Amino acid sequence: MGEAEAKLRVLLVDDEQAVWQLLGEKLGRCGFEWHGCSSGAEALGQLELAPFDAIVSDLKMPGMTGLGLLGEAHKRHPHIAFLMATGEADTGVAVGAMKEGADDYLVKPFHLESAVEAVRRAIRKKSMEKELEMYRHHLEEMVEQRTRQLQVAMKRIERAYDDTLEALGAALDLRDTETAGHSRRVSLYCLEIARAMGCTPEQLKTIARGAYLHDIGKIGIPDSILLKQGKLTPEEMTIMQTHVRIGFELLSRIPFLATASDIVLAHQERYDGAGYPQGLTGEEIPLGARIFAIADTLDAMTSDRPYRQALPFQTAREEVVRESGRQFDPDVARVFLSLPEQTWENIRRQVGNTRGRITTADQAEEQAFTKEMQVN
Ligand SMILES: [Fe+2]
């Protein structure tokens, strides 16, 4: 008999003391500690006083029956093994008790050797159940922890994506000094409209990225055309227009930007089909690109140009009304017009007229932007 087993404690419950006395003594000789009770109520009291590994209870007792005790003990001490003791005639009820949660049953008069063996087996079973439960609990905790770690990792990857995106944008800014503040503002304007249109978080992300990188293809346009002062010749215009395809080719190969690349390709399309490069009409144009068209016009009109001062937001709204159904999707136009002018003014103030490369002074705005890009 091992040291650990010697500490196992059994509670014996029977209104006839002689019954538990005999089994108790046998258990004692086998290295168990035991305690005898004459009623269910007394047993419950005893369970509160000291820990037990097993209960052997008579089925038929005055007051609380064995089944009553089983129910209570199970509720309060689910890890204690329970063995129901019955007369030979009650074995059907004893089997029923097992369905109620008893671990085994003993038939009276006890065969002492088998009774001790049954107690030992029931305790072992109980402790295995407990271990299994702990393991399961541990497993759940582990899964939860791993899920949290995965979420953090995903967030980091997402951030790395946005850094990449920033780097791409910065590469363009080096050449086209007009795009820095423009790309940010257009991206934020798009987000406002897209949100108001009920776009999903995934769509919002795609639209923000597509809008931010819409002109990335200008990286591939020669300086002589991109930076030319004055009007472009028709040939130069044709080359300039290839920026949408260059941008698309560039981004569609980057998995996390592939969906945004559709917006880049279509950002010069018009609702009436007069745009380029494919002359798509209506809903053939991706929603993000239809939203972008309005955001782009809004920003172009309300920004200073070498040849004119920035126009008021009201003028841009009037242009959207005028071009609704021609350049712009009427549904998107309606949603845009329903939003307060203050929305756009706030974004313009927040982003400012940043040009060129990101500097320390732009960091707050930078963070605000990055946060926007990571939303949802
Ligand atoms: Fe463009």
How many Å lie between the centroid of ligand 1 and the Cα of residue 26? 92
Dihedral of CA 143/148/154/157: which sign?
negative
- The pLDDT, as a whole number, for residue 358 is 34
Single-letter residue type at 253: R
How many Å lie between the centroid of ligand 1 and the Cα of residue 240? 9
How many Å lie between the centroid of ligand 1 and the Cα of residue 224? 17
- The pLDDT, as a whole number, for residue 139 is 92
H helix runs in the chain, sequence order: 3-6, 17-29, 40-49, 66-76, 91-99, 112-175, 179-196, 201-212, 223-226, 234-241, 243-252, 258-266, 287-301, 313-323, 330-338, 341-351, 363-374
Q: Which residues, 6+ apart, have CB-to-CB distance to 163 below 8 Å?
A: none
How many Å lie between the centroid of ligand 1 and the Cα of residue 157? 28
How many Å lie between the centroid of ligand 1 and the Cα of residue 257? 17
Q: What percent of the chain has pLDDT over 90?
A: 68
How many Å lie between the centroid of ligand 1 and the Cα of residue 162? 21
How many Å lie between the centroid of ligand 1 and the Cα of residue 236? 15
How many Å lie between the centroid of ligand 1 and the Cα of residue 151? 35
How many Å lie between the centroid of ligand 1 and the Cα of residue 268? 6
Contacts 24+ apart (CB under 8 A), 62-65: 62/15, 63/39, 64/39, 64/40, 65/40
- The pLDDT, as a whole number, for residue 351 is 83
- The pLDDT, as a whole number, for residue 94 is 80
- The pLDDT, as a whole number, for residue 7 is 79
How many Å lie between the centroid of ligand 1 and the Cα of residue 31? 87
How many Å lie between the centroid of ligand 1 and the Cα of residue 294? 13
- The pLDDT, as a whole number, for residue 181 is 83
How many Å lie between the centroid of ligand 1 and the Cα of residue 6? 83
How many Å lie between the centroid of ligand 1 and the Cα of residue 7? 81
pLDDT of 353 > 90? The answer is no
How many Å lie between the centroid of ligand 1 and the Cα of residue 238? 13
How many Å lie between the centroid of ligand 1 and the Cα of residue 295? 12
How many Å lie between the centroid of ligand 1 and the Cα of residue 213? 9
Number of H helices, E strands in the chain: 17, 5
How many Å lie between the centroid of ligand 1 and the Cα of residue 341? 24
- The pLDDT, as a whole number, for residue 371 is 60
- The pLDDT, as a whole number, for residue 362 is 39
- The pLDDT, as a whole number, for residue 370 is 58
Q: Indicate the average pLDDT of the chain.
A: 88
pLDDT band at 177 (very low <50, low <70, confident <90, very high): low
368 is written with which tokens? 């605000």
Q: Where is pLDDT greater, at 41 or 1?
A: 41
Place of tokens 């590994």: 53
pLDDT of 357 > 50? The answer is no
- The pLDDT, as a whole number, for residue 285 is 97
Buried b (16+ CB within 10 A) or exposed e, 195-211: bebebeeebbbbbbbbb
Please write the tens of the pLDDT for every residue from 138-166.
999 999 999 999 999 888 888 888 888 88
Q: Where is pLDDT greater, at 36 or 88?
A: 36
- Answer whether 292's CB lies under 8 Å from 210's CB: yes
Please write the tens of the pLDDT for every residue from 200-258.
999 999 999 999 999 999 988 998 998 888 899 999 999 999 999 999 998 998 888 89
- The pLDDT, as a whole number, for residue 87 is 83
d(CA 244, CA 180): 18
How many Å lie between the centroid of ligand 1 and the Cα of residue 267? 7
- Answer whether 354's CB lies under 8 Å from 365's CB: yes
d(CA 246, CA 322): 31
Q: At what angle do helices 243-252 and 234-241 cross, to 10 degrees?
A: 20
- The pLDDT, as a whole number, for residue 179 is 64
